[in-house]
Structure 1
Amino acid sequence: MIKSGKDIIFASKLIREGKLVAFPTETVYGLGANGFDAKAVAKIFEAKKRPSFDPLILHISSTEQLESVFKTPVPALITRLAEKYWPGPFTIVAPKSRKVPAIVTAGLKTVAVRMPKHPVALKLIKQAGVPVAAPSANLFGRLSPTEPEHVREQLTTIDYLVEGGKTNYGIESTIVSVNGNNIEVLRHGAITPEQIKTDFPDTNVSISSTENHIQAPGQLKSHYSPRKPLYLLDEMPDEIPEYVRLMLFEPHEVPEGVEQRIRLLSDKGDLLEAASNMFTVLHDLESDPEVEQIYALKVKTEGIGLAIMDRMNKAAYRYSTLASDDEIQI
């Protein structure tokens, strides 16, 4: 049985001892280990059943740690990005320092680094005194955890869980790689390409089109999946069977008499709020014995909608994507 509580000092001691600690960030709960201890990091892959070719993110608590994780001299653009978006849901990929073990980066010469905004995460990392390697605290490929209960349901072999309530954003961080004056978005998150272009007009901002070469976490085609079939819809279906629940990210007209089968993630149509509720609702639906299938109505792939659809497409990848209600089997 996993031990849990709010003792950050105890948790930081465990990390220094090479043990595993789950903790809240502003995005999702992370599963942390000493990022400079290869044996400790190996335990993350074992606990999550995560393949070794999928790299991890190093979490730091101060920009003073940049020179310990990135190859020096640290490019000025990285420093500018850190000053603008840290602490926050933003991860930077760049050439790694020699201190970073190969297991953290899956053998790549680059490492992904971010500074979380959650006060518990920052205190834990600072108290530990080392960068903390931490993917999401779930079994590989399963739904990301946004509440302590989600961690307990999936991970039973870790040493400690620092409780911090529900996370704020509910989706993982934006990930970018930096090369010269070029910023490439490797994974969509709350900080969008448009925002980066606006904040850094003197740089070249692009979106990764790489499909066969993993450069950062979250780039696999199938990820974040519920245990029940999830289907994405282009338009509202004419019928919703009793065994189905339909996820709506914003208000829509729905067929008469099926209101109880609808899960509206934001009654205001706020996609940022909807994104923060996405994994929580998916967790609830996969645990509901009355639900056999989950439908979700797509949103436009712009702004935060890019991050929402990135996660939903990966979550539904193992199932078939339904193009219209004519294809739904009822």
Structure 2
Amino acid sequence: MLISIHPKDPQPRLIKQVADSLRNGGIIVYPTDTIYGLGCDIFQTKAIERIAWIKQIDPKKAQFSFVCANLSHLSDFAKQLSNSTFRTMKEYLPGPYTFILEASKQVPKILHSKKATVGIRVPDNKITMALIEELGHPILSTTLPGELVEDYTDPEIIHDKYQNVVDIVVEGGIGGMVPSTVIDATGEELVLVRQGLGEWEE
């Protein structure tokens, strides 16, 4: 199903429809402040397994992020942060950044890898924010598998390609082509892992 949601003024009725689908174990493709993402409810194990199947990966080895509406969920899913790391995250988020942190015990078991880390993302996107607020907790997210730019920028092409494996494609305008900048915040120093859309100086 393709649902068009206004990027600047998301319609509450449609946001609720998508959030209800997530709560019921649905998988969505949705816009962020970078590229379109593939997402589900972090507490729906079957949905996580389905996303891993779509991407042909082991859930424990996948590069999933927890997409949050703000930093208030941090203590739920990440271990204690240093004040300087928290200050940096506050400065850069919301924005096109993913911060890798040490995962807490509350991260769903299916996602526990040997590294025990979690990516935290707070996109600057009104549709995403509204969805997470309606859902009441973060969305588990990963990138769409795609060879061509259109595979992950044009929601109608994404819908044609994935309509049989996802429940909803949220159309919120043409997506970006550059993923988020990834920062490893598990050590004492913050380390750039992948330069993406967000500017970063060590």
- The two structures have a TM-score, normalised by structure 2, of 0.85
Who is 2:94 aligned against?
Answer: 87
Identity value in percent: 26
Cα shift at 1:152: 1.5
d(CA) in 1 for partners of 2:58, 2:37: 17
d(CA) in 2 for partners of 1:26, 1:105: 27
d(CA) in 2 for partners of 1:148, 1:50: 23
Task: Say whether residues 1:62 and 2:61 are aligned partners.
Answer: no
List runs of 5+ in structure 2 lacking aligned partners: 6-13
d(CA) in 2 for partners of 1:190, 1:171: 6
d(CA) in 2 for partners of 1:124, 1:79: 24
| Contact 1:105–1:111 under 8 Å retained in 2 | no
Amino acid at match of 1:164: G
Cα shift at 1:180: 4.1
Amino acid at match of 2:62: D
d(CA) in 2 for partners of 1:192, 1:126: 27
Cα shift at 1:46: 1.8
| Contact 1:47–1:155 under 8 Å retained in 2 | no
| Contact 2:2–2:159 under 8 Å retained in 1 | no
Correspondence list, 1:118-137, <5 A: 118-137=125-144
d(CA) in 2 for partners of 1:184, 1:37: 31
Q: 1:110 aligns with which of 114, 117, 136?
A: 117
1:151-170, Cα deviation, whole Å (9 max, x unpaired): 22431211111110013x42
List runs of 5+ in structure 1 lacking aligned partners: 198-330
Cα shift at 1:87: 0.6
More contact order relative to length (CA 8 Å, sep ≥ 6): 2
d(CA) in 2 for partners of 1:153, 1:135: 19
1:129-178, Cα deviation, whole Å (9 max, x unpaired): 11111112345x665612212322431211111110013x4211001111
Largest Rg, 1 or 2: 1
Cα shift at 1:83: 1.1
Amino acid at match of 1:186: V
d(CA) in 2 for partners of 1:28, 1:18: 23
d(CA) in 1 for partners of 2:160, 2:83: 43
Q: 1:77 aligns with which of 72, 84, 96?
A: 84
Structure 1 residues 111 and 105 mapped into 2: Cα distance closer, same or farther (>3 Å)?
Answer: farther
CA-atom RMSD in angstroms = 2.1
- Work out the number of aligned pairs and report it: 191
Who is 1:287 aligned against?
Answer: none
SS at match of 1:151: helix
| Contact 2:156–2:171 under 8 Å retained in 1 | no
